[in-house]
Amino acid sequence: MADAPRTVLISGCSSGIGLELAVQLAHDPRQRYQVVATMRDLGKKGTLEAAAGKALGQTLTVAQLDVCSDESVAQCLSCIQGGEVDVLVNNAGVGLVGPLEGLSLAAMQNVFDTNFFGAVRLVKAVLPGMKRRRQGHIVVVSSVMGLQGVVFNEVYAASKFAMEGFFESLAVQLLQFNIFISLVEPGPVVTEFEGKLLEQVSTAEFPGTDPDTLSYFRDLYLPASRELFHNVGQSPQDVAKVIVKVIGSARPPLRRQTNTRYTPLTALKAVDPSGSLLGRSPGGGHGNLLQ
């Protein structure tokens, strides 16, 4: 007798990795998953529904979910039969790029509210049920920037560092309940959102930023970032395939990077032609950031 399909709740499915993951799981030839694909704004569900095709209403359901709202999380879970989630995929996230002086604290707090506290909120909601059933899998879409910071991405990297520390700590105590945590760490992912973000910040003013830093950002960082995405960027489909394998693993890994062509050192080299961050300081010293 075949096992019952596992209920998979995915946040951030209006586009990108979340959309591709939801569709791939819903189209699983063995029909092992019942996917609840969520997004904050249901007005953006058209692309997902079109990609889902015949799976829509069968192995895939679209639901509203704002990870920054306790009420929204509770309402979403109440629509799931029994409120039971077998696999939670924390994918919803926002980015923030630019010189620190030109970024508002409100914008920084929004990054943490979504990327970190949004993930924590969802885990708190589904964890009691997983513990009662003595089984579950929590997948976190982190980033290689959760392992190594990248210039002009300080706040985004900090939110991913926080996720890495939180979920690595939580993973240890959950093993006794047969609940696994997997941190998936993509490098650059080529999405429409990322392209728009880089285009927007290329013309942003960033008030309060000194001319040298602004020149470094516009003349070096932005061109290097575009080249990096072009050379080693992955598609959302490729990243989703890795996550599908992680979800299907009998013994899910704690960490899985998705792109062997990219390392944080790649990004540092791209924006540090002088080598000062890599251990070749202007004064001839070796204050190596990576040591």
**Residue pair 254/171 in contact by the 8 Å Cβ criterion:** yes
- Report in angstroms the alpha-carbon separations of 183 from 54, 86, 257: 31, 17, 8
CB atoms within 10 A of CB 71: 8
By C-alpha distance, which of 12, 13, 10 is closest to 34?
10
**Residue pair 91/14 in contact by the 8 Å Cβ criterion:** no
Cα(273)–Cα(287) distance, integer angstroms: 16
Q: Identify the burial level of 67 via C-beta atoms within 10 angstroms of its C-beta, where 0-12 means exposed, 13-18 middle and 19 or more buried.
A: buried
- What's the half-sphere exposure (Cβ side, CA atoms, 13 Å) at 137? 25
Cα(77)–Cα(70) distance, integer angstroms: 11
Amino acid in position 55: A
Q: Is 262 a catalytic residue?
A: no
Angle at 123 (CA atoms; ends 107, 260), nearest 5 degrees: 75
**Residue pair 182/252 in contact by the 8 Å Cβ criterion:** yes
Amino acid in position 241: K
Catalytic member of 33, 156, 221, 262: 156
DSSP per position, 227-255: HHHHHHPBPHHHHHHHHHHHHH-SS--SE
Q: What is the 3-state composition of the chain as percent helix, strand, coil, each rounded to the nearest 5?
A: 50, 15, 35
Strands 33-39 and 6-10, bridge-based pairing: parallel
Residues acting as catalytic residues: 156
